[in-house]
Structure 1
Amino acid sequence: MWGTLARVVVTDPAAVSAARAIVEDVLDAVDAACSRFRPDSELVRAGRAGGATVPVSPLLAGLLSVALRAARETDGDVDPTVGAALCRLGYDDDLRWVTVHGRPAVVPPAPPAVDWRQIRLDSNGLTVPDGVQLDLGATAKAWAADRCARDVARRCGVGALVALGGDIATAGAAPEGGWRIRVQDQPDDPYCVVELPAGAAVATSSTVSRQWLAGDTTMHHIVDPRTGLPAGRVWRSVSVAAYTCVRANTLSTAALVRGTAAPGWLADLGASARLVAADGTVRTVGSWSAKEGTS
């Protein structure tokens, strides 16, 4: 799903089929609302309105509110207006297709003229400046993980874990000892195992996992909104634990954009985080505590 693997785990095996159906329904609804690869999605239709205000569904309005809040809380590090930049860099189709076929060489773009502060969302609807392409990938997947876990726990009466790639959310009662999560981006990266209490979440953002060739240059999907280019590879990956997956993913994505300033910023926020540097060394922040492994 969405170029990654969706996993659903429940504390009662009898609930597996029902849990899967619930998750698929949520993901289908989110995809129809905000996929930038579907010409019929609400998000794409709003972007074609030429700057006019258009009505949006409660679901898309909620997803946009989450994205704009993430932008505000990270001083623009996580910005939903980077869709056009991602397309210029070559991420203009399903990632599996882009990875196989590659893209043309990229001419360095001019600094973006519009950012999240020009997006208007109110009771009248959504206003997207003409020419701006929205991308909610940094927050919508995490929101979906949170929503799926809550819906499964509530409707099936079980403890639930939903993992959408690196976005992992839990809800309901946890197994004895908590949810045990192996945190590792790539197979050769160092790993650790953390135990999440009931209702906790963890998100991992990476400069390595989603990448493709544009000409001879390797690109990745974490864009620095201020340059329109991939963020510097100071960190291979950043993982953050929080009590919502949206919060965890917001911080992990922003940390990749902030580069060397990320550990201090995360510490000031009281975040619990694990950062894997470009050379594979591991740095932890806050209360993150787990035994590291190497294979």
Structure 2
Amino acid sequence: MPLVETLPVGADTAQWPVWGTVARLVVTDPARRDEAADLLRAELTAVDGACSRFRPDSEIRDVCRAGGRPIVVSSLLAELVGAALAAARETGGAVDPTVGAALCALGYDRDFEQLAGRVFGGGVRVFPAPDWRAVRLRDRELTVPDGVLLDLGATAKAVAADRAAARIADLLDTGVLVALGGDIATAGPAPDGGWQVLVQDRPGDPSCTIRLPAGAALATSSTAGRTWGRPGELLHHIVDPATGRPAPRVWRTVSVAAFSCLRANTLSTAAIVRGHGARALLADMPSRLVTPGLRVVCGGGWPR
């Protein structure tokens, strides 16, 4: 939901740029807004320090430089890697944390704010993802094979949204919605009538406003956002692990509603990768798929 940055900001709302997108926070108790924003900022800072592949001082970069030796990591990084491996397991490898080298080969080797607008020359190197099952996590002991670069971008933002929403609701006794770009988590009591959420990717795309009940989450994965150019082609950030290339644009966006942002994001990302197999993958999950021609296909009791 990148159009979150164009939505109004009231006394119950705070927002700011982060990770090449927008963090947006809404609380049911406006008096708790600033405290909630501080908690969200702290969560995002901790997650960034744990798993950003763009920071040379991040914990995950240390693990990937360990030459295949097991490293005892923080409980936060263990949770983030565990979520990524669970997503890989659930999707049969369609969502895979070992695509870091493939993304770097495509040019996505820095924070997206620095990447946007760059044009790359030369041919595209192909780096299919290694077998994600070679990554070992036992409690807090993490082993990454030598030469494998982990990228948790497909799941870490969703985990951060889930964690922050739960923590804010628990500590501040307020209902809360946390939106990190297209990843939305809620916790605590919802406003009367539920959380109203605008679902739209780019200006001019089909839009709808849905109501999410308390505790519900929503994730939107897009092949139209986070794009950059090479001569003759426009690349996007959702990589098919089997090829090391951006997934074919069968779908412009896929949105999935669930009761955790992690699950919603796992399925929306996997649906982009699966392409024509997306609807079978999603089965009865509440979902909204938009084709490159802007035709909307809803399924699974998509909320209204």
Determine if the alignment matches structure 1 residue 31 to structure 2 residue 45. Answer: no
1:39–1:108 distance in 2 versus 1, CA, 3 Å: closer
1:111, 1:195 → 2: CA distance?
39
Contact 2:102-2:127 within 8 A present in 1 as well: no
Q: CA offset at residue 106 of structure 1?
A: 3.7
Decide which of 278, 282, 293 is 1:262's aligned counterpart: 278
Determine if the alignment matches structure 1 residue 235 to structure 2 residue 247. Answer: no
Q: Which residue of 2 aligns with 1:272?
A: 286
Any idea what the Cα deviations from partners look like across 1:27-52, whole Å, max 9, x if unmatched?
00000000000011110110001111
CA RMSD between the two structures: 1.1
Mapping 1:82-121, distance limit 5 Å? 82-112=99-129, 114-121=130-137
Q: CA offset at residue 156 of structure 1?
A: 1.1
Q: CA offset at residue 157 of structure 1?
A: 0.8
SS in 2 for 1:90: coil
Which shows bigger deviation, 118-127 or 17-26? 118-127
Q: CA offset at residue 216 of structure 1?
A: 3.3
Same amino acid, percent of matched pairs:
58
Q: CA offset at residue 97 of structure 1?
A: 1.3
SS in 2 for 1:29: helix
In structure 2, stretches of 5+ residues that fail to align are 1-17
Mapping 1:208-247, distance limit 5 Å? 208-247=224-263
Report the count of equivalent residues.
287
1:280–1:156 distance in 2 versus 1, CA, 3 Å: same
SS in 2 for 1:241: strand
Opposite residue 118 of structure 1, the aligned amino acid is A
1:76, 1:185 → 2: CA distance?
26
Opposite residue 85 of structure 1, the aligned amino acid is A
Q: CA offset at residue 86 of structure 1?
A: 0.4
Opposite residue 53 of structure 2, the aligned amino acid is R
Opposite residue 22 of structure 2, the aligned amino acid is L
Contact 1:33-1:41 within 8 A present in 2 as well: yes
In structure 1, stretches of 5+ residues that fail to align are 291-295
Q: CA offset at residue 154 of structure 1?
A: 1.1
TM-score, length of structure 2 as denominator length: 0.92
Contact 2:26-2:33 within 8 A present in 1 as well: yes
